[in-house]
Structure 1
Amino acid sequence: MEQNPTREADVVIIGAGSAGMSAYKAARRFTDSILVIEEGAYGTTCARVGCMPSKLLIAAAEAAHHARAAHRFGIAVGDVRVDGKAVMARLRAERDRFVGFVVDDAEAWSEGHKLRGAARFVRPQELELDDGTRIRAGRVIIATGSRPVWPAAWNDLGDRLIVNDDVFAWEDLPRSVAVFGNGVIGLELAQALHRLGVRIRLYGLGGLVGPLTDPEIVATARAAFARAFDFHPAAEVSEVRRAGDAVVVTAIVDGERVEERFDYLLAATGRRPNLDRLGLENAGIALDARGTPLDWDRTTARIGESAIFLAGDAAPDAPLLHEASDAGRIAGENAARFPFVAPRHRRTPIGIVFSDPQIAMVGKTRKALEQEGTPFVTGSVDFTGQGRARVALRNTGRLNLYAHPATGRFLGAEMVGPAAEHIAHLLAWAIEAERTVQQMLDSPFYHPVIEEGVRTALRAARDAMEASTPAHHPCLDCRAAA
């Protein structure tokens, strides 16, 4: 009887997405004994169905929105017509271009380093592919990503149920879409489709908006998005059913029972890590209720004391490309140099939602600070009256900064408002540099720019610190006016 083929490698990487590719490049610096196992097509979530195609859709939506809004500046542009086929043709062409760069990168790897198939553990350091191939691994890096999830009852909707992956395969824009989920994906796609002329209603749960945790910022964001499109962050949905080629949603809207028909239901209700088919129980890994390893170190990417590492969206980490790439690099270095395992610096958390107004989260959130019991004061700015924002008719939003009342250290921020993607970077760099509020105030601010709003919030934080600090505290002596 012919035995199944067996392969061996010092480092085996399961998954060739952002984290897996980063892990491969890092491990390759230390060993040539590497195998990368991929069961799907090469190309990252970011390039295929995430960051890049969503921003292409948003860019088209912004162009349409700005054309329609030009009259507010006294500029007449006539009727604005959205050509759905042209919008989606450009999106798919540019998306394929981005994917092509990633595929070219992976295809340039040595053929001896690549395997196709679905892998599962049979022992802690032994894997089996779906074709029966056995792989003995010195160390294993799991970089299998995540996938969308939705209530099982929605499966009855058949092809009327879609996820973000399906949106980017469209050849034309539909007439109407019910979007479920008030997280990042739901917010971005709902607003973009609305601006492109698609009838949208967003149904959310819990009243939150994206990743925001600060009640003041959440309230500002709710009001802003409610003005921008049909946004219901705390919807009471009683029924979702299919009727012919339509999805019928029944819900309580503004106190009234409303039944509405849509072409599609877009499920943006969360994602789960692709760990459930790996046979982790055979690897001796303890899992929590979600099937995620209990003992995972974010600074080493290692699971407990095992020879197994975890990185990217499959890990209990922020599902962001830069985080996946960083974690993949750490996992690759530590797996290749095992048993030498060293913690590595993880960058200041930064998250951005490309809605309008934009949302940004930097450093410690308000919720995290409260849960840790870390003392903090808040400095705020309301962008309604902020000079440059008002000039550009982008004067919507609020920024809350958090600082330690005794040391003055800047700790984090939550924001909804103009230029949040740029302000977030400035604030993240300040945290990385361990800057105090006063040191940030001592930095240059040009006039007139939206960043002057940051200075307003910093001044408010300084005032709050002074109000909470005894008059004899030495920190007061070193706070110069700014």
Structure 2
Amino acid sequence: MTARLVCDICVVGAGSAGLSLAAGAAQLGLKVVLVERDKMGGDCLYHGCVPSKSLIAAAHAAQTMRQATRFGVQAVEPTIAFAATMDHVRGVIAAIEPNDSVERFEGLGVQVIKATARFVSRDELMADDTLIRARRFVVATGSRPTTPPIPGLADVPYFTNETLFDNRIRPDHLLVVGGGPIGVEMAQAHRRLGARVTVLEAARLMGNDDPELVDVVRRRLVAEGIDIREQVRIERIERDGASMAAVIAADGGEERLVGSHLLVAAGRAPNIEQLDIDKAGIAATRKGITVDKKLRTTNPRVYAIGDVNGLTPFTHMAGAQAALVIRHALFRLPINVRAVPLPWCTYSDPELAQVGMTEAQARAAHGESVRVVRWKLHENDRAQAERETEGLAKIITDRRGRVLGAGIVGARAGELIQVWCLALSRKMKIGAVAQMIVPYPTLGEINKRAAGAYFTDWLFSARTRRIVGWLFRLW
């Protein structure tokens, strides 16, 4: 027997985007229904940001032991209890789970239905045996890992980010297909935890990032013993006894790379197959549900946020899109998702963080009027004290000094980039950062010094010296 339910907003998907929107709308007094077929918390909590950063933290602890000599402390090779390391990862997930639980959201006033959702019309969907009619729907079903069409891949066991963190046996030799953020982060983490690692990338390592900054990360990965193969073509994957081999094209022939385990980190696809979006008049491409600048689908009653729309596959942007929909759907305020500056960070060591345009993107858009300033991390006193001197800050402006983008590679770059996120969101000029007073000694000084470098040529020019001399004589 079909139950009927009427609400103000129905959110499909309890990942980062859906949970943020459901919580906000409910606390603003709307009747909210949240439909989730699997676990509350989504990919970020169970397969993405939380477990990966937990594993990276464990790997960092191991690497610190190896590098203690630089501080006059005896270095030791750590003993890795890999199963216990994975227990640490599961423990972090368990600590965060209550924040995303059914009980917490029901306490906020959200009605949670654990079911598979599918549209039956432009303003109705079925959640198992419940028919839901809503004034507005929000699709936030996220994405999943995809596998490239490599011959033989389906015939061998392999990890994706959805299964990697269930593994409790340290790989002897991990083959990583894909040199994007996930591939790089997991390659370095496993190497530091004692595995041999080879990364196979069809194009360029971390191809969406500034090549100048990527070079710093690449050098560290190679120095730590990771075998990086860029611009390679994998001909096939085949079994090799209890292991597997990636056969790649090399010098007119082939090369076999034998590994004990295989991680595929080469792309994502939107979770839309079971939604019957065509019945709701919702258009989509292979990248995701089509949305306008207000995050509305081709059915104005329905919004799509987070990974499922294919715009920006980051947890923080999923939350930002949820906030934009609340502004538009609840407060009738104008929004433009394409005007929101996009920050991202790869949590390698050193970290690489960017916001706004890269140098190449800025020059394509603004031509030769673009100015680029840099400041090396080795010129920062705190970096010297902590022996973390690899990296730089790179700031891109237009000819008037308005910040177009920024990139930082180095220790805690994800934290350091935040001042440039503010500068871009408030349309600030670089002079505002140059005039900041910041504590000494901090890594954050790198931002002030980079901003100050923008004015160096003008400030210490012959013309300025003449003006200063004239003013001083008048005083």
Tell me how far 1:457 sits from its aligned partner.
Answer: 2.7
Higher mean alpha-carbon deviation, 104-113 vs 173-182, is at: 104-113
Return the match for 2:98 from 92, 95, 100.
Answer: 100
Tell me how far 1:354 sits from its aligned partner.
Answer: 1.1
Name the SS of the counterpart of 1:7 in structure 2. strand
Query: Does 1:49 find its partner at 2:43?
Result: no
User: What is the aligned partner in structure 1 of residue 470 from structure 2?
Assistant: none
Name the SS of the counterpart of 1:241 in structure 2. strand
Return the match for 1:373 from 366, 371, 387.
Answer: 366
Percent of aligned pairs sharing the same letter: 27
User: In the TM superposition, what are the counterparts of 1:8-19 in structure 2 within 5 Å?
Assistant: 8-19=6-17
Structure 1-normalised TM-score?
Answer: 0.85
Query: Does 1:282 find its partner at 2:282?
Result: no
Show CA shifts across 1:407-452 (max 9, x none).
Answer: 2122211222223122111222233343322232222244444334
For structure 1, the residue ranges without an aligned partner over 5 or more in a row are: 473-482
The question of whether the paired residues in 1 share the 8 Å contact of 2:152 and 2:236 is answered with no
User: In the TM superposition, what are the counterparts of 1:187-336 in structure 2 within 5 Å?
Assistant: 187-209=184-206, 211-212=208-209, 214-228=210-224, 229-251=226-248, 257-293=254-290, 295-297=291-293, 300-304=294-298, 306-332=300-326, 334-336=328-330
Aligned letter for 2:408? M
Relative contact order higher in (CA < 8 Å, ≥ 6 apart): 1
Q: CA RMSD in A?
A: 3.1
Name the SS of the counterpart of 2:135 in structure 1. strand
The question of whether the paired residues in 2 share the 8 Å contact of 1:383 and 1:396 is answered with yes
- The number of residue pairs the alignment matches comes to 460
In 2: Cα distance, 1:357 partner to 1:198 partner:
19
In 1: Cα distance, 2:360 partner to 2:181 partner:
18
Mark the CA change 1:43 to 1:65 in structure 2 (over 3 Å): closer, same or farther: same
Mark the CA change 1:456 to 1:278 in structure 2 (over 3 Å): closer, same or farther: same
Mark the CA change 1:78 to 1:117 in structure 2 (over 3 Å): closer, same or farther: closer
User: What is the aligned partner in structure 2 of residue 480 from structure 1?
Assistant: none
Tell me how far 1:454 sits from its aligned partner.
Answer: 3.0
Query: Does 1:431 find its partner at 2:424?
Result: yes
Aligned letter for 1:147? R
Tell me how far 1:132 sits from its aligned partner.
Answer: 4.8
Tell me how far 1:335 sits from its aligned partner.
Answer: 3.9
The question of whether the paired residues in 2 share the 8 Å contact of 1:160 and 1:246 is answered with no
Tell me how far 1:333 sits from its aligned partner.
Answer: 5.3
In 2: Cα distance, 1:272 partner to 1:354 partner:
22
User: What is the aligned partner in structure 1 of residue 468 from structure 2?
Assistant: none
Query: Does 1:35 find its partner at 2:33?
Result: yes
Tell me how far 1:138 sits from its aligned partner.
Answer: 2.0
Tell me how far 1:59 sits from its aligned partner.
Answer: 0.9
Name the SS of the counterpart of 2:454 in structure 1. helix
Aligned letter for 1:68? R
Tell me how far 1:331 sits from its aligned partner.
Answer: 2.5
Mark the CA change 1:233 to 1:357 in structure 2 (over 3 Å): closer, same or farther: farther
Higher mean alpha-carbon deviation, 275-284 vs 26-35, is at: 26-35
The question of whether the paired residues in 2 share the 8 Å contact of 1:14 and 1:143 is answered with yes
In 2: Cα distance, 1:362 partner to 1:67 partner:
33
User: In the TM superposition, what are the counterparts of 1:438-449 in structure 2 within 5 Å?
Assistant: 438-449=431-442
Name the SS of the counterpart of 2:141 in structure 1. coil
Higher mean alpha-carbon deviation, 258-267 vs 429-438, is at: 429-438
User: What is the aligned partner in structure 2 of residue 173 from structure 1?
Assistant: 170
Tell me how far 1:110 sits from its aligned partner.
Answer: 7.7
In 2: Cα distance, 1:104 partner to 1:141 partner:
18
Structure 2-normalised TM-score?
Answer: 0.87
